[in-house]
Structure 1
């Protein structure tokens, strides 16, 4: 049964537009007139509707990490559990991210990360492979022993041809490495979006990466040469007349709030917020065991995870909804502007044509937000509303839950 959500304000192009939102029985947005027979009407009481958030880079949550091999049934269950958790943070689609691992691990896990749908869960949109073609000098927490110079290893040898065709949708690499530009061109032939990161590239090498087909920068400012007034490096690309899309971790751990605001204001239509969160996201604070990538005990305190008894940062556990609220506060913008960085901008960057905008013909995935960016309710296509009820309305095949 179709549903029309009335008395609401939609986030469209960075503005709040007062208009009903109508979704048909197949879960697609349709015109508000004429209505299909027996359409259910739901009053949102002047709430704000955003498209469902898209998470471009996430390593794991709830104790599950996409790079940790498990028996096939356990790995698949871990992906499913995480996909069901993410809508609580407003996320209705995500790119599971695999950092630098051995070729055998890439080939083992990538088949499970191909695009897929599951009722009541965020959509798996395909894998984001962050490595292994990265600069060892900017490796961060990545394992340098598994890194490759692009000219020394083909994409097919590292990932497998089938995964390049079926699973991988985004790849982060360092454009200055020998053979990197050829890899960028080949990745684009496979339909993979290419992001530049974990890189010691100078500005000119970044320009060459863009000419070859890269159109993104991964967690800007982190794991790359800093912005310098004579050699701006990859961050200098943000102010270009036609800038690449660029992602930011707005957690006040990886970046100072003023840097986040500075980057956002350089090009609001190209800014993307990511969490880059690790497997301890969604778990209580405390001490957790290490693993193959981090062979030390881990201390989780709020969003920050460090190696126990040190100040060494392992990663963050922030949710994408909190990143939005941080950007709102730091850049002094409204929720309707901030959500572009997790919806429309992401769709444009990676070529999503079926979601992330509230327009006729797209999927009816949406999130209901407060003025301050708190997630109140969320709807996944084909009938789930996640959150509290709107008055007594519980209908049209909708399941309501906390």
Structure 2
């Protein structure tokens, strides 16, 4: 039967609106009137509800990394384990991110990352491939030996045609590389893949050309790219454009100083996206861990920070997306309804998703119950509770 959630305040485009939320028996949001016969009512006691969070860039958690090629059974079990873990951070949909690995590994893992749903777990929305068409000078923790110049390799040769059609939904590449603009056009126009610019030494003009070709995102802005300079702003300079790209930020105070996060957010709150870039050590104790297909070196985990052992080179973070939301709230002095746009509405607009990410009729009834401070109290998918804080 349908369910109407009453006595709640909904996060709508950065504002709070007090009105019921009605979800049909099939899990879709429907108008509040007329109600289907037998509709049940649930009182949320004036709680704040936001669309389920969408994670655009996550590499792994709980010891599982999407670059860990293994048997199909073990790999699928790892994806499922992570999908069941994420709702406790408010996430109801995510893009498993495969960083720069060999073409063999891409072709081995990507078939298992096609969009799919499983009851009681966050939805796999398709793969985000972060590489291998990246600038070696901005490789960060990526393995440069697996990188390609776009003009020297086809998309189909690297990823596999069926993976481009069925699994890949987002691709990060460096727009200044020879052949990159042609790859951007093909990804966007032929395969309907959203293209993000990152791990790049592009100057501002090259970033503009990337956008003209069809890129509409910037990956973990400021990290692994030329810094913002007053005479040559590089990719970060695009944020102040009249029609800016969507841009992701890792709000963990490790990758970026809090004031830089606020600086970028205030440039365009409607285009800001928070990501974790979380890796497989998320949820594990601090310590030294082995590498894998992307990083063939030992890793040091200290709190949320993970580096290549013996260096200051960042591999990623272990922060949750809900903590990123709370950080933005604190650093920018904004309310929860403003901050959650950066993990809901802005994300789905950036990648063209129309079935979730906003609390409006026709979309999925995925939502999170939040406190004023941004703490997740419970997570619901298709109108059914799948996680609740003890």
**What's the TM-score once normalised by structure 1's chain length?**
0.95
**Aligned-partner Cα distance in 1 for 2:357–2:293:** 35
Structure 1 residue 339 corresponds to structure 2 residue 344: no
**Aligned-partner Cα distance in 2 for 1:21–1:374:** 20
**Aligned-partner Cα distance in 2 for 1:377–1:220:** 30
Q: In structure 2, the residue corresponding to 1:165 is in which secondary structure?
A: helix
Stretches of 4+ aligned residues off by more than 4 angstroms? none
Alignment of 1:313-392 (within 5 A): 313-381=314-382, 383-387=384-388
* Aligned partners of 2:67 and 2:293 also within 8 Å: no
State the Cα distance separating 1:11 from its structure 2 match: 0.1
Alignment of 1:226-305 (within 5 A): 226-305=227-306
**Relative to 1, partners in 2 of residues 1:316 and 1:376: Cα closer, same or farther, differing over 3 Å?**
same
Note the alpha carbon deviations across 1:57-115, whole angstroms, 9 max, x for none.
00000100001101000000100110000000000000000001111110000000000
1:396 aligned residue: none
State the Cα distance separating 1:309 from its structure 2 match: 4.8
* Aligned partners of 2:3 and 2:383 also within 8 Å: no
Q: In structure 1, the residue corresponding to 2:182 is in which secondary structure?
A: helix
* Aligned partners of 2:142 and 2:295 also within 8 Å: no
1:53 aligned residue: 53
**Aligned-partner Cα distance in 1 for 2:270–2:314:** 30
State the Cα distance separating 1:250 from its structure 2 match: 0.3
Q: In structure 2, the residue corresponding to 1:364 is in which secondary structure?
A: coil
**Aligned-partner Cα distance in 1 for 2:125–2:313:** 32
State the Cα distance separating 1:284 from its structure 2 match: 2.3
Note the alpha carbon deviations across 1:259-310, whole angstroms, 9 max, x for none.
0000000000000000001001112223323334333433322211234454
Note the alpha carbon deviations across 1:305-326, whole angstroms, 9 max, x for none.
2344544432210000000000
Structure 1 residue 149 corresponds to structure 2 residue 149: yes
2:173 aligned residue: 173
**Aligned-partner Cα distance in 2 for 1:116–1:293:** 25
1:112 aligned residue: 112
Aligned residues: 389
Q: In structure 1, the residue corresponding to 2:319 is in which secondary structure?
A: coil
**Aligned-partner Cα distance in 2 for 1:283–1:355:** 30
Task: Point out where structure 1 has 5 or more consecutive residues left out of the alignment.
Answer: 389-401
Q: In structure 2, the residue corresponding to 1:349 is in which secondary structure?
A: helix
**Aligned-partner Cα distance in 1 for 2:287–2:154:** 41
**Aligned-partner Cα distance in 2 for 1:64–1:387:** 24
Structure 1 residue 8 corresponds to structure 2 residue 8: yes
**Relative to 1, partners in 2 of residues 1:311 and 1:184: Cα closer, same or farther, differing over 3 Å?**
closer
State the Cα distance separating 1:253 from its structure 2 match: 0.1
377-386 or 261-270: which moved more?
Answer: 377-386
**What's the TM-score once normalised by structure 2's chain length?**
0.98
Q: In structure 2, the residue corresponding to 1:85 is in which secondary structure?
A: helix
Q: CA RMSD in A?
A: 1.1
1:101 aligned residue: 101
**Aligned-partner Cα distance in 2 for 1:335–1:102:** 41
Note the alpha carbon deviations across 1:109-161, whole angstroms, 9 max, x for none.
00000000000100000000000000000000111111100010010000000
**Aligned-partner Cα distance in 1 for 2:224–2:96:** 20
Q: In structure 2, the residue corresponding to 1:11 is in which secondary structure?
A: strand
Q: In structure 2, the residue corresponding to 1:116 is in which secondary structure?
A: coil
**Aligned-partner Cα distance in 2 for 1:376–1:99:** 32
2:205 aligned residue: 204
**Aligned-partner Cα distance in 2 for 1:135–1:296:** 20
**Aligned-partner Cα distance in 2 for 1:312–1:218:** 18
